[in-house]
Amino acid sequence: MSRSAKRIRLRLTVTARALTGDALAFVCHTRDVSATGVLLETLELLPLGCDLDLTLIDPETGSAVDVRGTVMRQVAPSGHHATLVGVLLDAPGEAWGALVARAAPRTRDTIERPARRLRVLVVADDIARRGAVALYVTSGWDVRFASDLASTEEALRGIAIDAVIAEHDLNDARWAQVLEAAQRAQPHAKRIVRSSLHGQPTPEAGGPDDLVHRVVDLNAGLEAVLDALTADWGIRQPGDRSS
């Protein structure tokens, strides 16, 4: 984003798609915005010049705002900190301009205290991903998406992951392959299957040495996923009913 543009501190969740060969999709957050650009916090390492499609929700209207931009600068991560990526927007349009204008008077109210965000890898095919993006965009987590075993293995080599969630039916052999790869590459990450149980009780999952830590009903919503992610971590959060 332009260094001369007036920046407004604003934190919003963004669904991003890098227009590269593999069309990487991930969820990140804004740090500040301006009339011509946006500064993103993300765990992804994006090359300079990379084009991005960004979708976020205007907090005032509830409407989706779609913009396209180009990665112009970035500050590499240190330790567990996210990368700061400056994006110059290409003809952002009226909806973006209105969002920025409304944010300006209330900038102080939008600054949030730093908090640890879970790093989650969601593995889903193209059909399942559409519903998954709609769910995880509201989570506040750093979310990356993979579509198959190869892209899962690539993602697991890149950064430390807190949890891997396979979005497959229980009778689908792909989830086992995905979680086996996660167990090998990052054994401390939670391994979760999110599947439609069709009203049946949640199957029992094994202990930390077994392949699956928890099975979550596809229709149970984000709270059930949060319960699974925080169970036995010693991270008690609102809504966590696990013991």
Per-residue pLDDT tens digits for 8-22: 888 889 999 888 766
81 pLDDT above the threshold of 90: no
First CA to last CA across the chain, in angstroms? 46
Beta carbons within 8 Å of 20's beta carbon, 6+ residues apart: 50
Of the ranges 23-27, 88-92, 104-108, which one carries the lowest mean pLDDT score?
Answer: 104-108
Domains observed in the chain: 8-110 (2.40.10.220), 119-230 (3.40.50.2300)
35 pLDDT above the threshold of 80: yes
3-state helix, strand, coil in the chain (%, to 5): 25, 30, 45
Spatial contact of 72 and 1, defined as CB atoms under 8 Å apart: yes
CA-to-CA distance for 23 and 92, rounded, in angstroms?
A: 21
**Rounded CA Rg of the chain:** 19
Q: Is 199 left (phi over 0), alpha (psi -120 to 50) or beta?
A: left
| Predicted pLDDT of residue 142 | 84
* Segment 88-103 mean pLDDT: 90
| Predicted pLDDT of residue 116 | 58
Question: In degrees, to the nearest 5, what angle opens at C-alpha 194 toward C-alphas 65 and 130?
Answer: 25
Q: How far is CA 118 from CA 36, 135, 167, in A?
A: 30, 15, 18
HSE-CB of 178 using CA atoms within 13 angstroms? 31
Confidence of residue 97 (pLDDT cuts 50, 70, 90): very high
pTM, two decimals, is 0.52
CA-to-CA distance for 156 and 233, rounded, in angstroms?
A: 20
Spatial contact of 15 and 133, defined as CB atoms under 8 Å apart: yes
Confidence of residue 153 (pLDDT cuts 50, 70, 90): very high
| Predicted pLDDT of residue 114 | 38
What are all long-range contacts of 95-99, with beta carbons under 8 Å and residues at least 24 apart? Answer: 95/58, 95/63, 95/65, 96/35, 96/65, 96/67, 97/35, 98/58, 99/33, 99/58, 99/60, 99/65
Mean pLDDT of the residues in the chain: 79
Nearest partner of 23 among 53, 47, 43, judged by Cα: 53
CA-to-CA distance for 118 and 237, rounded, in angstroms?
A: 12
Of the ranges 77-81, 85-89, 180-184, which one carries the lowest mean pLDDT score?
Answer: 77-81
